[in-house]
Amino acid sequence: MAYKKKQHFVPQCYLKSWTTDDNLYSMPKIQGLTRKQSTKEVAKKNHLYTLPSTFFDKSDYENPDLQELITESIIFKIWEDKWGNVRNLLSLHFDLTKVLHSIKGFVITQSFRTPKFMRLNKEKLERMGKTDDNVADSYQYAFLGIAGLTNYIENCICEIAQNLDISNFITCDNPATHWLQEGEIYHHLNGIALNSDLYKNPNYRIICPLSPKYVAVLSPNLGIKVNENDKNKVWIKAVNNETVRQFNQMIEHGADKMLFAKDLKDFI
């Protein structure tokens, strides 16, 4: 039997920012019944992080319990353990510079850990004729801290939209999504495996709500020389209600099946 059966692909420590008395509002993306639920009840899937057998062909990790433990309880736990401090500074509206690395690491990793991302990239690989198990495994899991993550984080510029309005940012079961920004217009990207040119595109963004009052907009740009000072700054931009609505529409568009909110009125 695998180590953990039900695995939360959106961490409870992250969703806690949207809770009141340990509950948040949930609503299907295709409009349906709105409910109040505990974070324990949402954004989970059985054995989501069981790594493919081919991934361990030349490894000592033959035990499936250990394989699953490596992915969820080591790779993802690195960022989840730091999120309490991030959440505290966000709630107090303090300087986020001290937790910048944690924010970038969490958002980038989160953008690759959901069922929707894995499903879309598998479909993309199949359309391209890349159905060989070893190829599929290497691209599907390469970002789980095994290759490239450190450079991705270190070269990333982080801008944060701060919501000063009464309404809140919502979140969802696929909160960190990939976009191309052209002026004020954002184009959603479904699946990014095998697209090496994307990392050199200055318009490439990863967008993720951090709390009901903050949304992170990351610019990875691995192929572009980034000023060292810019990489270590948090760029805060206050936004109005219209921009809050725009971000919430983007979050809804990127969601897989469920939306989450702190207040019913925050749903679009």
Q: Is residue 107 part of a domain?
A: yes
CA angle 253, 258, 262 (to 5 degrees): 95
| Average pLDDT rounded to a whole number, residues 110-129 | 79
Q: Which residues, 6 or more positions from 229, have their beta carbon under 8 angstroms from its beta carbon?
A: none
pLDDT band with cut points at 50, 70 and 90 for residue 135: very low
Whole-angstrom Cα distance, residue 62 to residue 66? 8
Q: Is residue 251 part of a domain?
A: yes
The residue segments making up the domain with residue 154 are 6-266
Q: Is residue 197 part of a domain?
A: yes
Q: Is residue 183 part of a domain?
A: yes
Q: Is residue 110 part of a domain?
A: yes
Q: Is residue 140 part of a domain?
A: yes
Q: Is residue 1 part of a domain?
A: no
Q: What is the pLDDT of residue 232?
A: 84
Q: Is residue 101 part of a domain?
A: yes
Whole-angstrom Cα distance, residue 63 to residue 209? 36
Mean pLDDT lowest among 43-57, 133-147, 164-178? 133-147
Q: What is the DSSP letter of 167?
A: S
Q: What is the pLDDT of residues 192-250, one digit of tens each?
A: 655 667 777 889 999 999 999 999 999 987 656 677 777 888 889 999 999 999 999 99
Looking at the structure of the chain, the number of domains it has is 1
